[in-house]
Each structure stands twice: as structure tokens, then as C-alpha cells.
Structure 1
Amino acid sequence: MRIWGKLIGAGIGFLMGRWFGALLGAYLGHRLFDRRPRTNPFFHTTFAVMGHLAKSSGRVTEQDIALASALMDQIGLTGRARTAAQQAYRQGKASDYPLQAQLRLLASGLRFRRDLARMFLEIQVQAALVDGELTVKERQLLTLIAKELGFDEGELARIIRMWHGERAGQRAGMSDKDACEILGVSETDDLRTIKRAYRRLMAQHHPDKLASQGLPPEMASVARQKSQDIQNAWERLRASRG
């Protein structure tokens, strides 16, 4: 019970819910975990890097373990697949874990699937922020992860801000600040600038576009939910600016 109390306090209920958990679960269940999960690069590296991030602060906390377990539950890992995920997590905690080499291996398989590469980065951002804070070491590791997957500092910063905005919006109701973080704009930006950012994000997360990149039909509804979050942020800012 003590673990879950901290879990709720850290907002992991939202972290593992809605579009993130559903999107990840649908994709991994449909495309990845049904084929030799113990050796699948995406499967293995997801949990190994989560373990590496958790250990980077010095010790793995109850919140870190609860998050990894919640992710395993969310995507329905049982039996050998769950054991493989736990083993990957432990391997990632090792001081000699070859992080950069593993990221490059993963990146080679995601070369033409930028949406999945972004999903991987988002998972690691959310894992690093499980306690609501980002240490210097965690930031350095996230920067490396982003770089190896082809994302620059600006994109990483946008993902971090988007996560902060969505998390805060779910806890206390969306504010203008939350909406700006979701859309990646400044509170001082004019409506035209905000609209451009909104349209860019909607195009990036459009279910039909994702489907053309290999998104299974089962994921269409959760892709629409992500689009709805973006839509809500836009409508909030449009209304507040009259």
C-alpha cells in the first residue's frame, strides 16, 4: 500500500493511463511482443533504459520499480515476457550497460519510424520524471537518448514541456500555462503562432498519418485521444484570447 500511495502522489495513474499506456500497449502487443520478446530490440531496450535511468540517481526507488511494474501490467506482460522485461531492467541498472551501443541498435531498426522513436523517447522522459523532478544526470541521459534517436535538444525540451503540461492539466484542470506547454508555445505568443503550432501537432499525431506509417487499426482510437488533448489545449487558448 505504501508503494501505491507514492505512486498516486507522483501521478503515475495518469502516466500509465489514457493515450500513452494504451498506445504503447496496443503497438507492442500487436507488433512486438508476439515475436521472441526476450530478444526484441524495442522490448528489451525500453525496459533496460528505464532501469539505467532509474539507477542514474544512485539508487532505484520504490517509485521507479512501481512505474516499471505498472508499465508491464499496462501492456499485459506475464510469464516469460514479464521475466524478460524484468531481466532487461536489471541489465540496464548495471554500471557497464552499453547504453549508446544499444540505442544505436534500436535507432537502426526505427530509421523510418520516427513516430515509434518519439514514443520510445517519451517513455524515457516520463520514467525520468516519475518523481516530478529531473536531475542533471537524468537530463544528460535523456539528451543522449534523444540524440541517438535523431531528436535535437529542442524536440526533447518540447516533449518534456508537453509531459509537464498534460500531467498538470490532469491533476488540476487545464490552465493556459498547461495548454501552452502541450502545444509547445509561449504564453506571450499571438494566436496565429499558436494556431501554427496546433496544426503542426495535429498533423504529427493524426491517426490516418500514423496508420500510413504502420500504426495498427486497433490504435486509431488512442491516437484520436492524443489528438483530442491537443485540440483541447488549442480551444482553451483560443477561448482565453477571445
Structure 2
Amino acid sequence: MTDSLRLPLQARQFAIKIFNAGKDSRETFEDYARQFYGAFHHHPEVLVSLVDLLLRVSHADGVLHPAEDRLIEQAVDIFGIRQEYQQIKARYSSTNDLDKCYATLGANHGETLKDIKKKYRRLAMEFHPDRVQSNGVAPELALLAEERFKEIQHAFDVVEKHLA
């Protein structure tokens, strides 16, 4: 399963460490989400990256189960990133590559290239590796943000070519 997540080694080890700590604890998922939010509420890119990671893990078996969805929804509500969550979720549920690219950018098919480029620039700035690292986040989370940055770049390239 860990290979199907395509996570860098450090991020995979970090996720396993968190999972192992959580399974032996009496704290709830909501408790962990609140603690995480308390530590990273000034770094929305980290919150988004964690939700992205949770969705990757939950889709590892090919299905987002209702119980998994409820837990992730709890984290999304605590983090206050509902709009970003809809974009992330659309990337995992869409079967069309172009649709996934639009979802990655938070854009719709009817939007102009100019409007999509604004969204692209905002996302690229938010997840740019230099900016993320300057915020002092853990190396594992910086790797996730860098991967997200590459997805954003790829998505814009695909959409831009489609609209050209």
C-alpha cells in the first residue's frame, strides 16, 4: 500500500510514525486534528497538504469509505479549508485528466485563461517550495507541498494547451 501512495521516503516514514502513535492513543482523530491546526494554522499550505495526504491514504484501496470521508470532513471543518477540500477531492474522484487539471487549479471549464492563470499564480505562490521551507515546516510536509506545486504546474500546462 505504501508504494501505491507514491510518497517520498521521508513523508512515508512520517505518516507511518503518526499512524503508529495514533493507534495506541486514547485521543480521538478530532483531538489530533485540533492539535495539528493549533500548530499550523498560520500555514494553510501545510493544512491542505495534510488533507491531501489523508485523501491519498483513504483512496489507497480504490474507494473512499464513508467513515474515512467523515473523519477527513472533520479535519477540513477544523482547518477551515472547505473550498480547498472540494478541489482536492475532485482530483481523486475525476477520471478525466483534463477535469483533474481543472480541479487541481480550482477552475471550471467555462473560465477564461486569464482567470485560470490568476488561480494558478495564487496556488503556485502558496505551495512554492522556497516559501514553504521559509515557513519552517517539517521536511516531510515540505516534500508534500513540493509535490503539490508540481501538480499545480502540470495542471496549468495541460489547461493552457487545451485553451490555446
Answering whether residue 93 of structure 2 is matched by residue 160 of structure 1, we say no
Q: Which has the higher contact order (CA 8 A, sep 6+)?
A: 2
What is the aligned counterpart of 1:197 among 119, 138, 146?
119
Answering whether residue 154 of structure 2 is matched by residue 232 of structure 1, we say yes
Partner of 1:4: none
Q: Are the aligned partners of 1:162 and 1:183 in contact in 2 as well (CA < 8 Å)?
A: no
| SS of structure 2 residue aligned to 1:186 | coil
Q: Are the aligned partners of 1:162 and 1:184 in contact in 2 as well (CA < 8 Å)?
A: no
Partner of 2:136: 214
Identical aligned pairs, as a percentage? Answer: 20
Answering whether residue 33 of structure 2 is matched by residue 91 of structure 1, we say no
Q: Are the aligned partners of 2:46 and 2:145 in contact in 1 as well (CA < 8 Å)?
A: no
Q: In the TM superposition, what is the alpha-carbon distance from 1:145 to its structure 2 partner? A: 1.0
Equivalent residues, number: 164
Q: Which runs of 5+ in 1 are unaligned?
A: 1-6, 27-70, 169-173
Residues 125, 241 of structure 1: alpha-carbon distance in 2 compared, 3 angstrom cutoff: same
CA distance in 1, matches of 2:19, 2:68: 21
Residues 140, 209 of structure 1: alpha-carbon distance in 2 compared, 3 angstrom cutoff: same
The one-letter code of the counterpart of 2:87 is R
Partner of 1:33: none
Answering whether residue 100 of structure 2 is matched by residue 178 of structure 1, we say yes
| SS of structure 1 residue aligned to 2:64 | coil
Q: In the TM superposition, what is the alpha-carbon distance from 1:222 to its structure 2 partner? A: 7.3
CA distance in 2, matches of 1:87, 1:218: 17
Give per-residue Cα distances to partners, 1:7-54, cap 9 Å, x unaligned: 4xxxx645233xxx36xx26xxxxxxxxxxxxxxxxxxxxxxxxxxxx
Q: Are the aligned partners of 1:164 and 1:181 in contact in 2 as well (CA < 8 Å)?
A: no
| SS of structure 1 residue aligned to 2:61 | coil
Q: Are the aligned partners of 1:183 and 1:234 in contact in 2 as well (CA < 8 Å)?
A: yes
CA distance in 2, matches of 1:86, 1:217: 18
Greater Rg by CA: 1
Backbone CA RMSD of aligned residues: 3.3
Give per-residue Cα distances to partners, 1:54-94, cap 9 Å, x unaligned: xxxxxxxxxxxxxxxxx33xx5x9xxxx7x656425336xx
